Amino acid sequence: MRIRYAALLPALLIARAEAGPLLEPGIYQLSPEAPEAETAAAPAAGEIHHEALASAIPDAAKVRYAFVSRDPGKALNKLVFVTDGAYRYDINSANRLCPAYAFPDWNERSDAQPFCRTHIGSADTEAALAWTERGFTLRWADQKTLIRTEQVAATRKPSPDEIGACAVGGVCVPAAYGSVLQHYQVTHFRDGFSLQAPRPYIDVFAATVDTPVYRSAEDGTASGTLAAGRYAGVLSRGAEWIGIEEVAAGGATTPGWIRRDDLAGGELRFPQQATTAHLRFVLVVAPADDDQALLQAIDILDATTGQRRQILRDIDAEPLSAGPDVVQLLDANFDGWPDLSVPGYSGGAGPNATRNLFLFDPAAQAFMFEPTLSSLPQMDIDPATRTLTSASRGGCCAHATETYRYVDGKLQQVASWEESLSPDGEHLQTTEGTLRNGTMKYRTRTRKLPADWR
């Protein structure tokens, strides 16, 4: 342990995550000087504290740099300390620094998510992180160690009242009876890092097995390997390739590409009944609990050659029952081309299930995710009226529908209907909306609750 003694002057800790912005993504360097600790607590009676600052980074880790990603769609940072290759994280030893953390809100580290939590609870073994946009502090719980005991002699004789108080109540005045002072060393573990080079990392890739790294997304020859247990910053993520940047112990960076097909392991493939004249589809899943499966991808193949035409990954969906009829084809935007649909979320107990919709783009000859349609529950497509209607239920006594139509190739709401029980429980309130001159107009009617509702 490298101890750096310093006077503990009052200082503001770097803002905690829940109170401030996230860290800017990039490469961070260990500051040469330890950050000042917060104002120390006053010693208890009979104690004298000797304050010291020590490095929070274990000697064996040999950390000089760290890198940070920030998810553009979530309030989430991932931070990786660039540790020595021989370093082995062990929460029950001096090597309690986890190589990678996710914050501000995260659960325990797992095989699926090899990131540790930060200061959830009060365990002394948990690291605490605090930060601004361009710097962060790592710290551990203070360590208090008894270093010596000092006997302080009395300076005068006790008075009669003091003799009685000491004999009966145990309150013995130190000046009359002497005292014992306990000397403690209180060590504050702190290390500060500051942003050295901003980098547009959107995520962190954690290698669970030795993973081939390619020079480019077009090069089929691996140029190196990201060893199992190592990390890299993610610059881009597509359906077939992940653009990464490795950060070395000295802060240097090496770009590369990871082929997502190389990451497949234990996945199951289910050819689908849905086909077109030119395409066939394969459902790719990973087994989950209770005979369910996690949707990994939709592999789209040429119907004649069997070669891949496209692959859809990172589909947001809950576990499903795998089989030959998961992929559905329909014309969601009425352009004459078949679009692709797979399950999304069930919506809980109510009938509010969603489906992931991918519209076929004839110019690109590819299916494109359509986020608006994919967020609408209980979607019904009516080719006769060329409308799409979404239905939802909020509890026992609230129902609603929304109707959409494609106008000049753009999705537009044209009508709505909502019915709910009034606050007094005696009436039904119905609100209808209609598109008029480009603006939705609404009318609400209230009527006595029908007898069959009682």
163 within some domain: no
Gap between the Cα atoms of 200 and 39, Å rounded = 36
Looking at per-residue pLDDT, the higher value among 3 and 415 belongs to 415
Percentage of residues in the chain with pLDDT exceeding 70? Answer: 91
**DSSP 3-state of 177:** helix
Residue with tokens 């106008």: 407
Average pLDDT, the chain: 88
pLDDT of residue 423: 78
* Same domain (yes/no): 232, 289: no
* Same domain (yes/no): 79, 130: yes
Angular region, 169: left φ>0, alpha ψ -120 to 50, beta rest: alpha
Checking if the pLDDT of 43 tops 90, the result is no
- Section 203-232 average pLDDT: 92
Q: Residue 277 belongs to what domain range?
A: 265-370
* Same domain (yes/no): 128, 74: yes
213 within some domain: yes
* Same domain (yes/no): 424, 286: no
pLDDT of residue 14: 34
* Same domain (yes/no): 317, 408: no
* Same domain (yes/no): 416, 335: no
pTM for the model stands at 0.79
165 within some domain: no
**DSSP 3-state of 104:** coil
257 within some domain: yes
* Same domain (yes/no): 410, 341: no
The domain total for the chain is 4
237: domain CATH number? 2.30.30.40
269 within some domain: yes
Checking if the pLDDT of 2 tops 60, the result is no
- Positive or negative, the Cα torsion across 435, 436, 442, 446? negative
At residue 122 the predicted structure's pLDDT band, cuts being 50, 70 and 90, is low
* Same domain (yes/no): 105, 12: yes
Checking if the pLDDT of 349 tops 60, the result is no
* Same domain (yes/no): 409, 431: yes
11 within some domain: yes
At residue 73 the predicted structure's pLDDT band, cuts being 50, 70 and 90, is confident
* Same domain (yes/no): 253, 314: no
* Same domain (yes/no): 310, 245: no
- Lowest mean pLDDT: which of 10-14, 16-20, 241-245, 387-391? 10-14
Q: Is residue 267 within 8 Å of 295, Cβ to Cβ?
A: no
* Same domain (yes/no): 221, 323: no
> What angle (nearest 5°) sits at the alpha carbon of residue 317, between those of residues 327 and 239?
75
152 within some domain: no
| Kind and range of the H or E run holding 85 | none
DSSP annotation of 372: H
238 within some domain: yes
